[in-house]
Amino acid sequence: MVSSYLVIARDGAAQIEVKRSKFLCTLQRVSTEDAARAVVERLRKEHWDARHHCSAFVLGPDAAVQRSSDDGEPSGTAGAPMLEVLRGAGVSDVVAVVTRWFGGTLLGAGGLVRAYGDAVRAALDEVGILERRRLLTFDLSVSHADAGRLESDLRSRGIDVLGTTYDARAVLRVAVPEAAAFQALLAELSAGSVTAVPVGELWTP
């Protein structure tokens, strides 16, 4: 199972100009095909005066879903090179849309491939990349008297404490990248008196 993958650090855009044609690449974080296509349609309406809105997207922790569209450009000159740049950067959960305003000079197939790829590279440089990690979540049931000390000890060891609820006992919810090492640490900190109950998993950020 994939435990981490790369995503864009934020949504953003960058524009390049090649022989008076303008190429505006918009990058947005998305998690579904519908969301990716909605971004394309939004930009199509927003930049209605542009000739092309070419797109590529990669989805999922394992980058299982990959699609691209030339949107009227010669086959293979826009969507494919855009997708290749995303693959090369190793990013997923992202849609790239390059909006082109024609400048009056034909660029040829090679020129288009370079321009669309360069637009995506420029946008990736603009937004940055970060690592998304899969974390396992556990609940720890402790006495009210011990809750504060255990939380402090866990945080000091770099454990993410997501929150604490108080009922008959205090329950700390934690998120960790790996179960076995955490179980060993918990046994050490609690002298074996606290059991970690698996809850599920989450991806961050």
**What local confidence, expressed as pLDDT, does residue 17 receive?**
96
Domains of the chain: 4-127 (3.30.230.30), 134-204 (3.30.70.240)
Q: In the numeric block, which tokens belong to residue 152?
A: 């402090």
Closest CA to 27 of 114, 92, 100: 92
Long-range contacts of 32-39 (CB under 8 A, 24+ apart): 32/59, 33/57, 33/59, 33/65, 33/67, 35/95, 36/67, 36/95, 39/95, 39/97
The reported pTM is: 0.84
Q: Give pLDDT < 70 ranges for the chain.
A: none
CB 155 within 8 A of CB 180: no
Q: In the numeric block, which tokens belong to residue 85?
A: 């740049």
Helix (H) or strand (E) holding 53: strand 52-59
**What local confidence, expressed as pLDDT, does residue 139 receive?**
97
